[in-house]
Structure 1
Amino acid sequence: MTAAPTAHSLTADVPWNGDFVARELGVRLHSDPAAAVAVAELVGLALRRNPKRAHLLVSTVLAKHIPAEPALVMAAGALLGAFVAAELEAALGGGTGAHNVGLHRGLSAAAAQLSTVLHSTVGQRGKALAALTAQLEQLSSQAPEAIVIGYAETATGLGRLVANALGAFYIHSTRHATPGVEPSAGFQEGHSHATSHAMVPTSPQWLDGDGPVVLVDDEFSTGSTVINTIRELHALVPHSLYVVAALIDLRSAADKARFEALAAELDCRIKVTALGTGHIELGSDILGRAAELIAELPPVEAGTVAAGRLSFVELSAAQAAPIRSDRFGNAAPPDQTTIAAIARQVAAHLQTTACQGPVAVVGCEENMFLPLAVSHALEALLPGTQVLFSTTTRSPIVPVDTPGYAVNGALSFASHDLSHDGPGIRFAYNLNGSHQRPGTIVVFPEPGTPRNAVVHSSVSQLPSLGAAMATAARDAVVVLLPADIPSPCSTTAPRQESSAS
C-alpha cells in the first residue's frame, strides 16, 4: 500500500491525513500484505519541529494528538493486548492446535472490525465500536506473571490497556521528577525531543521473577529505544522472554536483524507484535526540505475568539480515592468505583453549570489512562453528547490547517508539573483549527496538582494550562484529583502492591 495523495482516503469525502506530508516531502508508507490493519488506517503524518527527524507518525487510535472516541482508544489497546497474549501463548507453548486456529481467526476478525470502524466517520461509529468491543471480550487472555512496561509519554495509556488485557503488573517510564523515589533504571530515546527516560518503581522486587517482560510503545521506526531498554533491564535482572508490542512496526530488515543479534547476544528470546506492519520511504534530503517547507508555510490563524469560562472540579480524598501513578508500578488500574465517582462529579458539574457539547476530555502528558476511563464513563452519563479524548504532549508539531494533514490546530502553554528538565512549553493539538472548537474541554492535570499551578504560568510569555484551554472552548473545566504519593519508606513494598483504588 503506497501513500499516494488519494490512495488512502478512508471515506469517500475525507482524504488520508498524511497526504500533505507525503506529497510535499516524498514520504511513502507501505503495509505488509499480511498486516492485521493497514498502516495508513492507523496513522497520519505531520511535520516535527525537531532537527533529528522531519516527520511524525500521528496515530488515529492513540488519542495523543488526534481526539478520538474513548471506546476506540480502549479497543485498540485491548486488541494489542490480545495480540501480545497470543504471542506469549505461542512462545510459552500453550494452547492446542484447534485453540490456536480459533484464536488466530478471532484476532483477524477483530482487526478487520477495527478497520471497519476507522473507515467510518467520527460520530457515526457507535454500532461498529460496540461490535468490536464484543469481539474483544471473547479474546481476553490473562498472563498475570508478565511485567508490562509502557513508554513515556506517548504510550503510558496504551501500556496500561495492554496490562489490563493481560491482568499483569504495569509500570511506565517517566520524565517526571519523583522526590523520595530514586530511579532504578534509565534509557535513551535518540530521536525524541526529550530523550531521557527513568524507571521509578517503589518496589525493589518489581523486576524479579522469571515471567515475560512486555514492552509497549505506540510505534517502532528503528527499534533503537527498545534495544536500549532491553539491555538496561537485562543487566538488572535477566529474563528469558521479551515481547515488544506497538500499534505499528516500520522497522527495516536491518533493524529487525539488530533485534535477532541482541537476542543471541543476551541468550534470550525477543518477539515482536503489532497491529500494523510495513515500512516507510523517506524522500531525499528530507530534513532540509522539511525546514524549507516549514519556513514557507503561512502561520495558522488563531482568530479572535473570546476566552471561555474557567471552572474547577476539585475532589478530596473522601470523594475519590487518591490516585497512584503507574510510573511507580501498579498491579491493577484504579478501580471502577473510583472512576465512576470522578465521572459522576464531573457530569454533575457540567450539567449544573450548563456546559455545552461536544465535550473534549484532555489528559496531561503521562496522565492518560485515568482521564480516558473517566471519559468513557462520561459517555453514559451525558447521553446525546459527543465525548472525545486526547492528551497534552511535549512534542513540538507544526500545525497546518488543511485537509490531508494530521494536526490542524495547536495550543501552547506552560507546564504545570515537576520534571527533571524544569518548567517548559507543552502542547495540545486539534482542539482548535477549522471546525474543531469543542463546547467544553475537561482537562485532567497530574493528580496532586494544586489549583495555582494551572492558573499561573510557570514560564514567562506562555499562558497557563487553564488559560490556554479556555481559549479553545466555551467552557474549560479543570479536574483536580488527590494523589497517592509514595514516601521513601514505601520503596521496600513488595512488587504486587495495590493500586490507588
Structure 2
Amino acid sequence: MTSTDHESWATQTFGLRVRHRSGTPLLTELVAPGLRRNPRRAHLLVSSVLGKHIAADPRDVIAGGHQLGRAVASLGLGDVDVLGMAETATSLGHCVADNLDAAMYLHTTRRHAPPNMIYAEFQEGHSHATDHTLQPSSADLFAQPRPIVLVDDEISTGNTAFATVAALQQLQHRAHYVVASLVDVRNDTHRHDAAAVSNKLRTSVHFVSLAQGDVDQPAGLIDAVCALNPPVLNTPSDRPPSTPSRLTLPWPAHVPEGGRHGFLRQDRPEFDEAVLWASEHLHSYLDPSRPVLLVGHEELMYLPLRLADQLARHGFNTRFQSTTRSPAYVHNHPEYPLGTGWTFPASEPGETSARFLYNGWQAPTHVRVQLVLLVDRIAASGDLTVGEVLAAAGYDVIIAEVDGPDATTLAEIRGRQQ
C-alpha cells in the first residue's frame, strides 16, 4: 500500500492521513482530509468531483458519475434500480442511473413526510443528521426484484449500506445489491465482515469504487477536533452587497425535478427537454461574460448540476456545488480543503438546524460571480436568508425556484399512465 498524501494541514496538525490502496484514479486525486466537530466522527473526506463542499466543473462531476456507472455495468447484472444516498450522493446516484439506463432511480431523503408517505427508513450512525427515509410516489416502484445499486460518495465502514439493504430486504427480497462509491476506505475487518452480513441478509452485496484506501485516525482525534475554537463563518466581502433577485424557472407539472419521489426510465426524455427549456430561460437572466456558480439546495443537486452543464455548453464559465446540513470545520490554510464557509437558517418551514455552504467560487477581484441558488417549491416557501448571506459574501445572487410534482401528484400521474 502506497501513501500519496501530500501532508495537508489536517495531517500536519492532527495526524489525519489518507492513504491510497488501489484503483484509478488515485484516492488522493478524489478526496482530501477535512475535519468536522462531530462527537461521532471527526474526519471528513472532501471530494473534488462531487460538487458538495468544493465547487466543481459540472462536466467533471457528470464524468465521475458515468465512470462509476461503467464500473457497475462491468458486473453484468442487467436491468437495475439505483438508490442514491442523501444528501451528498443524490446527483452522483442520478448520474450512475443515467449511465446504466436504470429502470428506476430514487434517493433517500431527510425531509419530513407523513408516515403514510414513507416506504422505508433507517439510520446513518456517524452522520450529523442520521435519519434517512425513502419516499417513492408508490410502493409499486419497488415491485420488481431487480438488483439495486446503492450509490454513496464514500464507504467508510459499510454499516449504512447494510442498514439500507436490511430495510429493503424486509420489504422486497432481492438476490443482488451493489454498493457503488467514489472512494472506499473500509479497513480489512470491515471487508472481512461484509460477507457474513450479506449471508445473514440472504443476499449478495458487491462493492465497487473508483479508488480504495485507508484513513489513519490518531487516538484522541475526536476530542482534539471538538476542542478547537468554533470556526469563523460568514466573513463579509469587501465588495458592497447586492440585493438578491428571484425568478421561477419553467418546469412541466408532470416531470419530477429530481429523485426524491422516484425517477423512472421513461421520465428521462422529458426531463432532458425540460432542462433545455429551463436553461434557456435562466440564460436570459445571466451575463455570459461573467462566471456563474450554480448552487443546489441540499438534496436538490442533480437538476442544478444539469443546468450548470448546459450553461457550460453555451460558453459560460460555470461551477456547481450545493448547500448542506453538515457542520464542517473551516480553516483558512492553503493545504486544507475547507477554507471559507457561510451559515444560515434552514429554508424548509419547520426546520430549525443551521445550514451551510463551503468555499464557494470567487473570480478575480474586478469580476462579480453570478450565484444561482436553485430551490424547490417547499424550500422557496420558507426562510431564504441564505440569499442575503451569500450576497454579503460578494455574489450577485439569483434565487431560482423550480416547481416539480410532489409524491401524491406523481402517484396520480403514473396511475393514469398505466
Paired residue for 1:156? 90
Structure 1 match to 2:347: 416
1:480 maps to 401
- Matched residues in 1 for 2:127 and 2:163: separation? 14
Find the partner of 1:83 among 65, 71, 75. 71
Distance 1:35 1:481 in 2: 38
How many angstroms does 1:492 deviate by?
A: 10
Aligned residues of 1:362 and 1:443 also touching (Cα < 8 A):
yes
SS in 2 for 1:398: coil
Secondary structure of 2:25's match? Answer: coil
The letter of the residue matching 2:374 is F
* Alignment of 1:295 onto 2:295: no
- Contact 2:138–2:411 (8 Å) recurs in 1: yes
Give the Å deviation of 1:321.
6.6
8 Å Cα contact 1:357-1:438 kept in structure 2: yes
Shift in Å, 1:260: 0.4
2:293 to 332, 341, 360: 360
In the alignment, structure 1 residue 343 sits paired with structure 2 residue 331: no
The 1:316/1:69 distance shift into structure 2, 3 A limit, reads: closer
The 5 A counterparts of 1:99-498 are 143=78, 145-168=79-102, 169-179=104-114, 182-292=117-227, 294-295=228-229, 301-316=235-250, 323-332=256-265, 333=268, 335-351=271-287, 357-381=290-314, 383=315, 385-418=316-349, 422-431=351-360, 439-447=369-377, 449-450=379-380, 453-455=382-384, 464-487=385-408, 490=411, 493=414
Contact in 1 for aligned 2:330/2:338 (Cα 8 Å):
yes
More strand by share: 2
Identity %: 30
Measured after TM superposition, the shift of residue 165 of structure 1 is 0.7
Query: Quick one: which amino acid aligns to residue 466 of structure 1?
Result: G
Within 1, Cα distance between the matches of 2:187 and 2:162?
14
How much does 1:326 deviate? 1.1
**Distance change (3 Å), C-alpha of 1:261 and 1:492:** farther
Query: For residues 299-338 of structure 1, what are the alpha-carbon distances to aligned partners after superposition, in whole Å with 9 as ceiling and x for unaligned?
Result: 78545442123112223557x8754441111114462211
Alpha-carbon deviation of 1:290?
1.8
Structure 2 residues without counterparts, runs of 5 or longer: none
TM-fit CA distance, 1:276: 0.6
Q: 1:3: Cα distance to partner?
A: 5.2
Change (3 A) 1:288 1:300: farther
Q: Does the 8 Å CA contact 2:38/2:226 hold for their aligned counterparts?
A: no
After superposing the two structures, state which structure 1 stretch, 476-485 or 441-450, moved more. Answer: 441-450
Could you tell me how far 1:259 is from its partner in structure 2?
Answer: 1.4
Question: What is the TM-score when the length of structure 2 is the normalising length?
Answer: 0.91
CA distance 1:497–1:466, shift in 2 (3 Å): farther
Q: How many Å separate the matches in 2 of 1:220 and 1:265?
A: 20
* Structure 2 contact 150–180 (Cα < 8 Å) conserved: yes
Taking the aligned partners of 1:227 and 1:435, their CA distance within structure 2 comes to 46
In structure 1, how many angstroms separate the alpha carbons of the residues matched to 2:138 and 2:324? 28
User: Does the 8 A contact of 1:200 with 1:328 survive in 2?
Assistant: yes
| 1:358-401 per-position Cα deviation (integer Å, ceiling 9, x unaligned) | 211000100000010001111122x2x41000000001012111
- 2: distance between equivalents of 1:266 and 1:229? 11
**Corresponding residue number in structure 2 for 1:27:** 16
Equivalent pairs, count: 412
* C-alpha distance after superposition, 1:176-230 (max 9, x if no partner): 1235852111010000000000011122222222321110000011111011111
- Aligned with residue 38 of structure 2, among 34, 38, 50: 50
Aligned equivalents of 1:215, 1:252: Cα separation in 2: 20
Amino acid at match of 1:331: L
| C-alpha distance 299-236 of structure 1, shift in aligned 2 (>3 A) | closer
CA distance in structure 1 between the aligned counterparts of 2:362 and 2:224, rounded to whole angstroms: 25
- In structure 2, the partner of 1:14 is none
